[in-house]
Amino acid sequence: DAGVIQSPRHEVTEMGQEVTLRCKPISGHNSLFWYRQTMMRGLELLIYFNNNVPIDDSGMPEDRFSAKMPNASFSTLKIQPSEPRDSAVYFCASSPREGRNEKLFFGSGTQLSVL
Amino acid sequence: GDSVTQMEGPVTLSEEAFLTINCTYTATGYPSLFWYVQYPGEGLQLLLKATKADDKGSNKGFEATYRKETTSFHLEKGSVQVSDSAVYFCALSGTGGFKTIFGAGTRLFVKA
């Protein structure tokens, strides 16, 4: 199994530019999560999907952030326009199903730097 | 809201020392509890979990017991190795729609 695949691994962009992060969950997994990791705030849940439907987006910081899951094998997180304070590592994770006992499988993350 | 509190790091130990990383939680209902580990440049991976009170999760010499009376899930290992150097995250799930909430993480350095 290839695991959760994220792209790109690193992204450097200038303030005001649009940034799109991509995620391919593990085949057969029904739940997908986007997390942001910073030194100051730790690991924050941004949004999660179940069966391609957004269930909880209360962690999305503001309207500049949007996430989609058009099918079971692909999700995007978009920031438009980007700001320096968006610099962080963004992780995608998936789990086989929605449930309290389910473990998360994480991708390797996208290191985003906004200059 | 639900939350997880971990001891601040970094924790620095010599090889073969005993490890304890404290974790307490606040949650409505009865969450499942997890420890995840993150090695440099990688995503988190599950280390162990416990799904109900008094359960003990264990893996690779690490253990943690779900203590409902003290709302705690402390991570322990009897003899650490250099290869255990990583960041350890305590987490809970199962309240408020199955999302997993993480603690701030505790960095562990093990010296040879």
Span A41-65, average pLDDT: 91
Band the pLDDT of B96: cuts 50, 70, 90.
Answer: low
Position B97 scores a pLDDT of 62
Span B91-98, average pLDDT: 76
The candidate with the shortest Cα–Cα distance to A32, out of A61, A10, A62, A54, is A54
Burial of B71 by CB count in 10 Å (0-12 exposed, 13-18 middle, 19+ buried)? middle
Position B29 scores a pLDDT of 79
Q: How far apart are the first and last CA of chain B?
A: 41
Is residue B98 pLDDT above 80, yes or no? Answer: no
Looking at the complex, does the CB of residue A39 fall below 8 Å from at least one CB of chain B?
no
The candidate with the shortest Cα–Cα distance to B2, out of A82, A56, A112, A77, is A56
| Angle formed at CA A45 by CA B2 and CA B35, multiple of 5 degrees | 65
**B94, A94 Cβ separation under 8 angstroms:** no
B24-50 tens-digit pLDDT: 999 887 899 999 999 988 899 999 999
Residues of B in contact with A98 (CB under 8 A): 98
Position A1 scores a pLDDT of 62
Whether omega for the bond prior to residue A8 falls within 30 degrees of 0, making it cis, is yes
Share of chain A above pLDDT 70, in %: 97
Backbone angles phi, psi at B32, to 5 degrees: -90, 150
Band the pLDDT of B62: cuts 50, 70, 90.
Answer: very high
Looking at the complex, does the CB of residue A93 fall below 8 Å from at least one CB of chain B?
yes
Position A61 scores a pLDDT of 86
**Would you mind telling me the total number of residues written for chain B in this entry?**
112
| Angle formed at CA A14 by CA A8 and CA A20, multiple of 5 degrees | 35
User: What three-state secondary structure class fits A19?
Assistant: strand
Q: If phi over 0 gives left and psi between -120 and 50 gives alpha, with beta otherwise, what is residue A28?
A: left
Judge: B98–A104 Cβ closer than 8 Å, yes or no.
Answer: no
Identify which of B36, B99, B104 has the shortest CB distance to residue A48. Answer: B99
Q: Using the structure block, give the residue that is written with the tokens 């997890």.
A: B34
Any residues with CB less than 8 A from the CB of A98 and at least 6 apart, and which? A30, A31, A50, A55, B98
Position A9 scores a pLDDT of 96
Position A68 scores a pLDDT of 97
Any residues with CB less than 8 A from the CB of B78 and at least 6 apart, and which? B18, B61
Looking at the complex, does the CB of residue A23 fall below 8 Å from at least one CB of chain B?
no
